[in-house]
Amino acid sequence: MVVWIDPRRVYLVKLEKGKKLDTDRGSLSFDSVIGKEYGDYVEISKGKAFLMYPSLDYIYDGLHRPSQVLYPKDIGYMIFKSGIKPGDTVVEAGTGSGFLTISLSHFLGASGKVITYDIREDMQERAKKNLELVGLVDRVVFKLGDVREKIEETGVDAIFLDMPDPWLAVENVYKALKPSGTVVVFVPTVSQIEKTFLYLRKNGFVDVEAVELILREYQVKENATRPRSIGVTHTGFIITGRKSIKGSSEIGE
């Protein structure tokens, strides 16, 4: 369940009898919440705590994350471009805090599968706890490993890379994907775009694109609506490509 107090206070919690949530706006006893419907609220000492269904946007706000996670604006586009659907199998590297893992497993459904690689065991343990909290851990296979050295799976529908040097994994990505499968890469710098883009083009990928998405939030007040002075501008770049049976050089790109 999500406890929403205001935009800066969003808590992702698992309700257990006898426990409570302490915030700077007051304490919320879980016993007073159990049995209530989503959308209801409970009075606390400095306001109201609204009880909300844990949709992905609230999970993003309330997730415990020791490392930076991808923004929803980027993940939405990445999933759209990947072409994945319920029941598909995808590979992800690295796992990080697990928000992309959560998003992928949500869209793939109970019949789908996410295989997520990371070289850090501590990050995977944190991600497992996050997946358990939202009830999606059964859709995910965690692997401690380096996709630059090996991807064990073959015939997967899509591969998502969020790592410092994704171009070093391109050959393994090509081998693991099914024909026409999609690779989706997130990188934060322009120099990473160039290396990744060119490696994809040289190693059998076509329809390679690189984009940046800008999100602009508005501050809405009567007779004073305007863009917020502070917001999310640059977060990173998204590179996508499709596996061709023939390399791009063979078809004239």
Return the pLDDT at 28: 93
pLDDT at 143 over 90: yes
Confidence of residue 20 (pLDDT cuts 50, 70, 90): very high
Counting residues of the chain whose pLDDT is more than 70, the rounded percentage is 96
Quote helix, strand, coil % in the chain, to nearest 5: 30, 30, 40
Could you tell me how far CA 243 lies from the centroid of its own chain? Answer: 22
Sign of the C-alpha dihedral computed for residues 30, 31, 36 and 40 taken in this order: negative
pLDDT at 251 over 50: no
Residue 6 phi/psi, 5-degree rounding, is -160, 175
pLDDT in tens, 69-128: 799 999 999 999 999 999 999 999 999 999 999 999 999 999 999 999 999 999 999 999
Instruction: Give the separation between CA 118 and CA 96, rounded to whole angstroms.
Output: 7
Residue 160: strand pairing partners: 92, 184
| Average confidence score pLDDT of the chain | 92
Say whether 73 sits in a helix, a strand or coil.
helix
Return the pLDDT at 229: 85
Match 């929403």 to its residue by tokens.
Answer: 4
Tokens standing for residue 57: 């946007």
Q: What is the pTM of this model?
A: 0.88
Say whether 82 sits in a helix, a strand or coil.
helix
Tokens standing for residue 90: 């995808």
206 touches 251 (CB < 8 A): yes
DSSP label at 8? T
Return the pLDDT at 93: 98
pLDDT in tens, 159-207: 999 999 999 999 999 999 999 999 999 999 999 999 999 999 999 999 9
pLDDT at 67 over 70: no
